[in-house]
Structure 1
Amino acid sequence: MTNSDAVRRLVNLTFALLGSDTPRSIAWVGANVDGYEGRKPEALDSLIRRDVRDLRAMWVPVRIENGELFLNKERYELPPVELTEAEASAVGLAADLAQGANLGAFARSGWTKLAASGATRTFDSPAISSVSNDITRLNPETLRWLLYGVRKPTRLEFDFTPSQGAAAQRRRVDPWGIVPLNNRAYLVGWDVDKDAERVFRVRKISHVKPVEADGFHAAEGDLQTLVETLLQGPVADAAVTVRGGAGDELASRGVREGDVIQLRGVERDWLVRTVASLAGNVTAIEPADVRRDVVELLKGAAQ
């Protein structure tokens, strides 16, 4: 059985319980939930109990008592999500592109909402600030252990590959959270060996496991601000002219004046990549050096 089979089964079970106002029996799950059919009672009971443990490890408020399954909806459900037209298109595109035994299955099934809910064993605060493309493309087992380390909290050991072709580095980290930035997701925490705060892009993390530790370095301050500070690159000012009201992401970091979006002191790398993604709707870019970088990025993508 592949990871995608297990993910689909867990998602099906979660939404079957969400759709019911009463507890569901093990027999009902075996007869009605896709992924559990055709099993003998003993095997079905064992599989469901294992899946309940896995769901609870991912902070879904489900439990099993006397052969019946319960899901606490009050601690699970999120308020309605309102997306702009551009955001909805991006979500749809991400779902269409998602393939293979990874969290693309989460995106197609609605699991990203479940994972982003921030439900914990005490269901009190989020571990993921929002969903990014990195999260939806992450290996489910990797995400599971990262969330476990954040929620426990407990020290984690993992391989980190800083760049393509580079040798993997074994790191020991006290994890504080997973933070999105510029459509990427980062694990932020205390690097034990470096004795300092560090940020790791989650897509470059693998082979995660918890390790014993005498203590745990607690986070100080806002994690989003910390990640932005640690990753802050060169900044730039720019004026970008767009057609048809495009460029909502740019406008969220600047000021829209008609067709022109004025930006001050924004991260240059983010600016160049975001403008490049709007190439079909951009009619002018100032200053010239930002325009040149956008053109070079688009040429590289075309090649």
Structure 2
Amino acid sequence: MSDRKEDLERQINLTFAFLSAESYSRKFLTQPWIRTNVSGFQNLSDDAFRKKLARDLADLRRVGVPIEQFTLNTGMDAGQLAYRLSSETYELQEVEFTPEEAAVLGMAGEMGQSQELGAFARSGWTKLAAGGAQRDLSSSASVTNAGDLRFLSAKTFDTILKARHRGYRISFSYESSRTAEKVTRTMDLWGLVPERDRIYLVGFDIDRNAPRCFRVIRITDVTAIGTATHPMPAGTNLQELVRQQLRRRSELVDATLRITHGRAVELSAAGVEKEKDQWFLKDVDRTWLVQTAAAHAPEAIVLEPPEIVDEVIELLKAAQG
């Protein structure tokens, strides 16, 4: 399951890279650029990178993403393979749908494929979004059944995708998970990043004058308000940027657990077995870890860090009344 989720995240990242190529001042993507800038392709051997990229490109083409391959003839990259999205076949003329018609399209995309990426790439309204179609999708079904995307309205997703593709600045309301307070934020959008079944909006936060990320299910009222003036710096790894900010907010933690063999599979699948029945989990969501470990006690016991051990014990005591 984890391999399939990693493949899905990498392929979504690759799709967004193609959709946003012009905002990187590129008409095409080369293999070295993809390897450096698209999360999921770093730290691979040459052979492993080529195989993963070839498989991902084949999967994307199979679900309807028209990617062209060609060899560069001039410049410093002459002789290298390059890839581009065929906008002539991917983008459509502007059309309008009623909310009822949009809902049917969303449901058809959802039901027509069992694979999340298939629903994401083949759903009619996703292709329309790439072409800038004007319609009200506020009543349509969600994009896929993958994590946060189940709860993200099609209207919000459409606005975000359009703003990223066209280089717009956006404003939105954000509800803090800690205070439940709603604030209005302004951002020059850099991308959407999947991270462990959650989706984060990433960009330059005008109000904080620094890069920031926001979980998409906590944002509403997304509106394009002008042209972005803070482009994403070259070489930025959006996936790592999200992880660094989550670590600073103590939402991601490392932990060591003792897990009875064959039990608490949800926890063991997220980690690596270091010793017999002892598992190490890196960069996992703190709340998920505490709740899941408590639910699987005593087959799963958190050994460290101490603060997570204490939180699990408190949760178990509260459950006992």
TM-score (norm. length: structure 2): 0.51
Alignment-mate amino acid for residue 239 of structure 2: Q
The match for 1:279 among 296, 300, 311 is: 296
Structure 1 pair 258–143 and aligned structure 2 pair: CA distance change class (3 A): same
Quote how far apart the aligned CAs of 1:195 are.
1.4
* 8 Å Cα contact 1:4-1:105 kept in structure 2: no
Quote how far apart the aligned CAs of 1:60 are.
7.9
Structure 1 gaps, min length 5: 19-51, 63-100, 108-129
Aligned pairs (5 A) from 1:89-238: 105-106=141-142, 132-163=146-177, 166-213=180-227, 215-220=229-234, 221-232=236-247, 233=251, 235-238=253-256
Is 1:59 aligned to 2:130, yes or no? Answer: yes
Is 1:269 aligned to 2:283, yes or no? Answer: no
State the match for 2:21 in structure 1. Answer: none
Structure 1 pair 58–294 and aligned structure 2 pair: CA distance change class (3 A): farther
> CA separation in 2, counterparts of 1:275 and 1:214?
41
Structure 1 pair 198–247 and aligned structure 2 pair: CA distance change class (3 A): same
> CA separation in 1, counterparts of 2:197 and 2:203?
19
Alignment-mate amino acid for residue 187 of structure 1: L
* 8 Å Cα contact 2:202-2:214 kept in structure 1: yes
Structure 1 pair 189–301 and aligned structure 2 pair: CA distance change class (3 A): farther
For each residue in 1:78-115, what CA deviation from the matched residue of structure 2 results, as whole angstroms up to 9, or x when unmatched? xxxxxxxxxxxxxxxxxxxxxxx9899437xxxxxxxx
Structure 1 pair 216–136 and aligned structure 2 pair: CA distance change class (3 A): same
Quote how far apart the aligned CAs of 1:249 are.
4.9
> CA separation in 1, counterparts of 2:320 and 2:100?
36
> CA separation in 2, counterparts of 1:214 and 1:228?
24
Share of identical aligned residues, percent?
Answer: 24
- RMSD after superposition: 4.2
> CA separation in 2, counterparts of 1:242 and 1:104?
44
Quote how far apart the aligned CAs of 1:283 are.
4.2
Quote how far apart the aligned CAs of 1:257 are.
3.9
State the match for 1:69 in structure 2. Answer: none
Quote how far apart the aligned CAs of 1:241 are.
1.4
Quote how far apart the aligned CAs of 1:213 are.
2.4
The match for 1:260 among 260, 278, 286 is: 278
Quote how far apart the aligned CAs of 1:202 are.
0.8
Quote how far apart the aligned CAs of 1:297 are.
3.5
State the match for 2:6 in structure 1. Answer: none
The match for 1:10 among 105, 110, 113 is: 105
Structure 1 pair 278–198 and aligned structure 2 pair: CA distance change class (3 A): same
> CA separation in 1, counterparts of 2:279 and 2:139?
35
State the match for 2:34 in structure 1. Answer: none
List structure 1 runs of 4+ shifted beyond 6 angstroms. Answer: 15-18, 101-104
Structure with bigger gyration radius: 1
Alignment-mate amino acid for residue 273 of structure 1: V
Structure 1 pair 187–286 and aligned structure 2 pair: CA distance change class (3 A): same
Structure 2 gaps, min length 5: 1-97, 114-122
| SS of match in other structure, 1:276 | helix
Structure 1 pair 195–12 and aligned structure 2 pair: CA distance change class (3 A): closer
> CA separation in 2, counterparts of 1:174 and 1:298?
43
| SS of match in other structure, 1:273 | helix
| SS of match in other structure, 2:172 | strand
* 8 Å Cα contact 2:141-2:154 kept in structure 1: no
TM-score (norm. length: structure 1): 0.53
